[in-house]
Structure 1
């Protein structure tokens, strides 16, 4: 299977030709799975027009077909099995062949700051059943990098150890959720390091998995002194979009067909605002036809300065969702912009808020010497942005993120049965 590479096309017409050339094979693969075989009957679709007539595939379809109702190859051909995190309900199954993994790894590695053999790459997202850690691991190995499999759901990898590894191994690239990078900064300071000074090998922070406001991205860059590069994808599909050198997110339309669904009318289009629908083109183990990710996005075909003939996407997610306060909708994205709009000298890394019916209550973790100024500045910023009552409380450092989280070393042991007289035998048979 020959996969298209960036630069294989120069125009939207050439990009569309790449899609049209692969679609018959993709549709044939799909017809081999029990789910699509039942849905399609004898009428196997052959082209883009046929694809457009098919009903959307939903997350509930994936749940209903658990575990292997969407399997389109022999079980012996599978390389890995995964499940989504289940944050929005019952987890969805997902599986890939070894050839599917080449496509997955290549898409993830499409970073404008490339991954190379000289890199030491810290993977700080979950492994287990989710795809995210395995995906970055595979992409880094594909390009010869040294992988540090840090995980972020393991007691064996506390933040004190993350900081030690970042520093002592001279890590050059990392993959994590954006919040992780702020936790590392706090843990680094607790260990006596300066995030922007004492990690000179670091080249970039790759992030994904949660909404990221422009202000928080800028603050992370300011703290660490390196670019923050975002990407977008899912366990069911792998990477779907990544940033160009101009900082805009582009959909990988040479590897998938994308549509935007208007949930009110049920109509789809190539661009606009709505829910993202995707048909991966090089997915054989578990083909997905018109899969509705249910993510709110804004897709545009406007020309980008980078020259990539790929549509751009803004992932709206929770940025468009809000809570009412005094008759005004308050969103996390906007509040985050205001919090990280505070001067860096105030040293605010962590915050939380509660939208009560009549007042927005915010807490920010801030050193004593900056507390009054930071609270006053944030209160004024919120009133200016929303014109609503606001109660900003500055809390001591260590309130929202305890110091023990940043500096602790967990006692991870293997199960034991026999202990010495001076040992704690209550740890018998425990893994933690």
Structure 2
């Protein structure tokens, strides 16, 4: 879940403090009390969607349902799941007629699905996101205003993609460009760390892992100020966790979510992944993987409890998780938030450039390329790349050269990019059934 907080989007101090105070208390609620809160929010959202969202007004009429027919969370199953295809095809019908009242912001993501999705997020969901991060970061000792370091490719797309690092005084944040990590840039990054003394690190596991490996190689492990690492956006693999915690000398707290903000999962200091029940309702649609006696495995379905501008009810997220069957088995941390046994989420390959840079999470670049239905970038060799695209209606060929020039400036001046267009039914997903936006056939270990 790549989030770049902008002050103007979160300038609601009274509402933020009120929700933050509630979340600090609610994490210790019993399961029954959390479900009571969810049901209360769900009824509010269903009533709003029934009256103000054309898609749900028509759907409920067709199913002969009214908000009063939902007396429990289990009753949500009366509503058919909303697939990403449904969101795309019914975009305007899913926007509330009174959306402007909630200060909506149009967002777009293509990162891990390969299929661009547009949606609205409103004031309430922004406040929720801010408070959610505030709470789960506080589990590692973070307090609002403390300095932190973030690996963010998004930020440098709007400034200079060749810049290694910059510091935001307003957010007390040292921002590192994951497309510029190399043996040569490590000294500059370490210099910035010594200057600004960030206490926490945020980023994808692949970016922080490469950073940690190069730190160790350069012998720059001593005296680092970090007290915690917050990972998001990908699965944390065991070898990554071991190396990161060893080099940075602090624990990882991982989190899982998605930009559409229907559900959120975060890891407590004891290592348990907790569903943030106040954020949204998480269901599991079984059938893809066998369930065990101790766990229930299936696809994630999420229902937003705070985004009134564009409510997503029973939204199919697509990733697989395994829930703990023992609902009454409270984590040793004492929190009442339900536990997840395992997330079968996303992984990313690392691109190695001829200049010795290690590029992670380049996919935000494709968020800027409009009217693409699907993409995949494959690194065939150190300087050879294959870019595969599926056009959507409205795609303009005249912008191709400019986009390829920008992509080449990221991959390196010697990069050779073969561009190929496909129809949606022609694509052959690289790397098996699980879609990967970036595929590298170069052995990274040989260059570290």
TM over 0.5: yes
Equivalent in the alignment of 1:404: none
Check conservation: 1:123, 1:150, Cα contact below 8 A.
yes
Larger radius of gyration: 1
Separation in 1 of the partners of 2:206 and 2:117?
A: 25
TM-score (norm 1): 0.62
Match of 2:132 in 1: 107
Change (3 A) 1:75 1:163: farther
Structure 2 equivalent of residue 88 of structure 1 = 113
Q: CA deviation at 1:114?
A: 3.6
1:223 match: secondary structure: helix
Confirm or deny that 1:28 pairs with 2:47. Answer: yes
CA contact 1:104–1:238 (8 Å) conserved in 2: no
Q: What SS is found at the alignment partner of 1:164? A: helix
SS in structure 2 of the partner of residue 305 of structure 1: coil
Matches within 5 A, 1:38-53: 38-41=58-61, 43-46=65-68, 47=70, 48=72, 50-53=75-78
Specify the alignment match of 2:309 in structure 1: 285
2:174 maps to which residue? 148
Deviation at 1:60, TM superposition (A): 1.4
Q: Tell me the alpha carbon deviations over residues 353-399 of structure 1, each in whole angstroms, 9 at most, x when there is no partner.
A: xxxxxxxxxxxxxxxxxxxxxxxxxxxxxxxxxxxxxxxxxx99973
Q: Give the one of 252, 271, 287 matched to 1:247.
A: 271
**Cα distance in 2, alignment partners of residues 282 and 176 from structure 1:** 25
Question: Aligned pairs, how many?
Answer: 309
Relative to structure 1, the CA distance from residue 104 to residue 169 in structure 2 (aligned partners, 3 Å threshold; closer, same or farther) is same
> Are 1:63 and 1:90, in contact at CA under 8 Å, matched by a contact in 2?
no
Q: Which residue of 1 aligns with 2:32?
A: 13
Cα distance, 1:184 vs structure 2:
1.6
- What is the match of residue 261 of structure 1? 285
Say if 2:150 and 2:176, in contact at 8 Å, map to a contact too.
yes
What's the CA shift for 1:259?
Answer: 1.2
Q: Could you give the per-residue CA deviations for residues 221-277 of structure 1, whole angstroms, max 9, x where no partner exists?
A: 011111111001011117601111211010011222221111369x9xxx7111111
Distance 1:146 1:238, change over 3 A: farther
- Report the 3-state secondary structure (helix = DSSP H, G, I; strand = E; otherwise coil) of the residue aligned with 2:86: helix
Partner of 1:312: 339
Structure 1 residues 161 and 58: alpha-carbon distance in aligned structure 2, compared to 1, 3 A threshold = farther
Q: Name the SS of the counterpart of 1:83 in structure 2.
A: strand
1:134 aligned residue? none
Give the TM-score taking structure 2 as reference length.
Answer: 0.60
Structure 2 distance, partners of 1:69, 1:86, is 24
Distance 2:287 2:245 in 1: 36
Work out the CA distance in 1 between the residues paired with 2:60 and 2:215: 56
In structure 2, what is the equivalent of residue 65 of structure 1? Answer: 90
Q: Please state whether the residue corresponding to 2:316 is helix, strand or coil.
A: strand
Report if the CA contact (8 A) 1:116-1:145 is conserved: no
Q: Which residue, 196, 220, 244 being the options, matches 1:169?
A: 196
> SS where residue 205 of structure 1 aligns?
strand
SS in structure 2 opposite 1:7? helix
Structure 2: how far apart are the matches of 1:85 and 1:122? 25
SS at match of 1:56: coil
Instruction: Tell me, in whole angstroms, the C-alpha distance in 1 between the residues paired with 2:242 and 2:249.
Output: 10
Any idea what SS the aligned residue of 2:154 has? Answer: coil
Equivalents in 2 of 1:154, 1:85: separation in Å? Answer: 22
Instruction: Verify the 8 A CA contact 2:84 2:117 in the aligned structure 1.
Output: yes
- The 3 A distance-change label for structure 1 pair 396 and 262 is closer
Q: Using the alignment, how far apart are the partners of 1:87 and 1:396 within structure 2?
A: 22
Secondary structure of residue in 2 paired with 1:232: strand
Shift of 1:284: 1.3
| Equivalences for residues 189-268 of structure 1 within 5 A | 192-195=218-221, 197-199=222-224, 201-237=225-261, 240-263=264-287
| Paired residues of 2:262 and 2:281 also in contact (CA < 8 A) | no
Distance 1:398 1:303, change over 3 A: closer
More deviation, 307-316/172-181: 307-316
Cα distance between partner residues in 2 of 1:60 and 1:397: 36
Higher relative contact order (CA 8 A, sep 6+): 2
SS of the equivalent of 2:94 reads coil
Gaps of 5+ in 1: 131-140, 320-331, 334-348, 351-394, 402-432
Give, in angstroms, the shift of residue 64 of structure 1. Answer: 1.8
How large is the Cα RMSD of the aligned pairs? 3.6
Change (3 A) 1:189 1:282: same
Asked if 1 retains the 8 angstrom alpha-carbon contact of 2:262 and 2:279, the reply is no
In structure 2, relative to structure 1, the CA distance for the partners of 1:161 and 1:286 (3 Å cut) is farther
Structure 2 partner of 1:384? none
CA distance in 2, matches of 1:129, 1:233: 23
